[in-house]
């Protein structure tokens, strides 16, 4: 039988000759997509659907790693970009659109009094941490969640090759919803902690009072609180997770959905801290690139004037409800659950007796891809996801959860896989 991913697989071989991993982004690489049962390249996207190199169509629940909120190729955003293109992309002096988008962000985000732009989320998190170090004159940083590829953070993950030990020694991971794990570091590094940087939520929602306690403990210890809102920003609510949970940090970082997939990120926060940006070095040639800022301006305007995020949350809540019911129906509770915010929710796989979660997750992906659904096992929703899309998702879950249940009961998962299982390479959430 000819593989449905024949062209993808052949092109992967070609790409691997000139591109390490065959991808610019780890989460889009062959490490995350089991060989033999996955597509490797997307050729085009529209709304909530994408087409791979072999011409297979999918409903995409990855949404370009949560950077799409309105839908792929949103006509308004694309028109704004085309209009800006007429005037130019980048110049020898700043373009007024920089200040215009900064103003829009300050109107929407509670902590935002001033704003600077970067390109990727990692620019923003690295800049915010440097700012906090400059403001406090301290070096240590406490982290919770994923914060990008730069040395200061990646050094404390499993992918830390190439990061100097001296840098690694300055960053410490605390546990979400566990205030004592944060307290411990404040005691151990008394008067040495510059910042607490955290995703305000990801897989798990905060326990009552947790974020408030983090804020007060951080301030009591003279450190800066940074919310990494690279994903939650312009997704949980127009003002991000800080608005959604009602806890305002000193600084926050944004990326992903800020411009519906165009490459721009931002640091926003308290004026006195942000003014210090003038003293540190946070500067790059493409920081003020105008096409992405035109996309951001249009995206923010749409979020502000239309109930986009409430619509997405409604769709997401429906998906959570149906998915939970299907998990129950197929008696998958032992190894499968669902959690997170409706706009960014997760299927959480656990080891079952004699069947590893990696086997189960691989089987899940194999079967979802073959049914025309692109997913890692989560729901990065965008506004183009339709009722028909979510119905197709539930139909697929109904079939695939039944297979997972059978795989666990029969302990026969290996026979059901047409590929090698994924390996636990790099888990940050």
Ligand X SMILES: Cc1ncc(COP(=O)(O)O)c(C=O)c1O
- Residues lying near ligand X in the complex (CB under 6 A) are found at 65, 120-122, 125, 145-148, 199, 228, 230-231, 255
Q: Is 228 a catalytic residue?
A: yes
- Residue 173 CB, shortest distance to ligand X, in Å, is 14
- Residue 198 CB, shortest distance to ligand X, in Å, is 9
Nearest to ligand X of 65, 419 (CB atom): 65
- Residue 223 CB, shortest distance to ligand X, in Å, is 19
Contact 257, 246 (CB under 8 A): no
Given 7, 28, 119, 256, which residue is catalytic?
Answer: 256
Nearest to ligand X of 146, 234 (CB atom): 146
* 188, containing H or E segment: helix 179-188
Note the Cα 72 to chain centre separation in Å: 16
Sole residue written with tokens 């950077």: 67
Nearest to ligand X of 259, 404 (CB atom): 259
Sole residue written with tokens 């194999």: 366
Given 60, 74, 123, 228, which residue is catalytic?
Answer: 228
Q: Which residue is nearest to ligand X (CB)?
A: 121
- Residue 179 CB, shortest distance to ligand X, in Å, is 21
Beta bridge partners of 171: 141
d(CA 176, CA 101): 32
- Residue 145 CB, shortest distance to ligand X, in Å, is 6
> What would the DSSP string read from start to end of 223-249?
-EEEEE-TTTBTTTBTTHHHHHHT---
Nearest to ligand X of 53, 143 (CB atom): 143
Q: Is 58 a catalytic residue?
A: no
Say which DSSP state 59 is in.
E
Nearest one of 296, 266, 234 to 81, comparing CA atoms = 296
Beta bridge partners of 47: 72
Given 40, 72, 146, 244, which residue is catalytic?
Answer: 146
Nearest to ligand X of 92, 285 (CB atom): 285
Please report, in angstroms and rounded to a whole number, the separation of the first and last CA atoms in the chain: 38
* 366, containing H or E segment: helix 357-370
Q: Is 321 a catalytic residue?
A: no
Question: Which residues are catalytic, by number?
Answer: 146, 228, 256
């Amino acid at each position: 039988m000819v593989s449905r991913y024949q062209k993808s697989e052949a092109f992967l071989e070609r790409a691997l000759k000139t591109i390490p991993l065959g991808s610019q982004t780890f989460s889009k690489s062959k490490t995350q997509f089991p060989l033999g049962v996955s597509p490797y390249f997307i050729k085009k996207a529209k709304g909530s659907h994408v087409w791979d190199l072999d011409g297979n169509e999918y409903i995409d629940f990855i949404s370009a790693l949560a950077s799409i909120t309105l839908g792929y190729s949103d006509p308004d955003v694309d028109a704004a970009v085309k209009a800006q293109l007429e005037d130019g992309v980048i110049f020898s002096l700043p373009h007024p659109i920089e200040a215009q988008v900064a103003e829009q962000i300050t109107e929407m985000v509670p902590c935002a009094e001033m704003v600077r732009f970067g390109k990727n989320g990692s620019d923003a998190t690295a800049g915010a941490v440097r700012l906090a170090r400059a403001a406090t004159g301290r070096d240590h940083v406490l982290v919770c969640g994923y914060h990008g590829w730069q040395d200061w953070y990646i050094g404390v993950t499993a992918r830390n090759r190439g990061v100097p030990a001296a840098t690694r020694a300055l960053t410490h991971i605390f546990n979400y919803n566990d205030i004592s794990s944060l307290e411990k570091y404040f005691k151990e590094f008394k008067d040495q902690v510059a910042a607490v940087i955290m995703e305000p939520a990801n897989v798990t929602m905060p326990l009552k009072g947790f974020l408030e306690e983090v804020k007060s403990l951080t301030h009591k210890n003279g450190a800066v609180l940074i919310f990494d809102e690279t994903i939650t920003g312009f997704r949980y609510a127009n003002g991000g997770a800080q608005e959604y949970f009602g806890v305002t940090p000193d600084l926050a970082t944004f990326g992903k959905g800020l411009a519906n997939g165009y490459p721009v990120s931002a640091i926003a926060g308290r004026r006195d801290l942000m003014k210090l940006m003038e003293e540190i070095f946070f500067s790059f040639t493409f920081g003020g690139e105008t096409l992405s800022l035109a996309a951001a301006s249009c995206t923010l305007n749409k979020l502000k004037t239309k109930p986009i995020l409430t619509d997405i949350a409604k769709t997401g809540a429906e998906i959570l409800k149906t998915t939970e019911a299907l998990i129950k129906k197929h008696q998958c509770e032992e190894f499968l659950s669902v959690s997170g915010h409706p706009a960014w929710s997760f299927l959480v796989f656990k080891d079952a007796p004699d069947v590893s979660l990696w086997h189960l997750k691989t089987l899940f992906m194999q079967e979802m891809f073959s049914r025309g659904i692109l997913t890692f096992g989560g729901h990065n929703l965008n506004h183009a996801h339709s009722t028909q899309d979510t119905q197709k998702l539930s139909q697929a879950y109904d079939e695939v959860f039944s297979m997972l249940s059978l795989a666990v009961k029969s302990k026969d998962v290996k026979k059901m896989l047409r590929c090698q299982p994924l390996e636990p390479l790099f888990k940050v959430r």
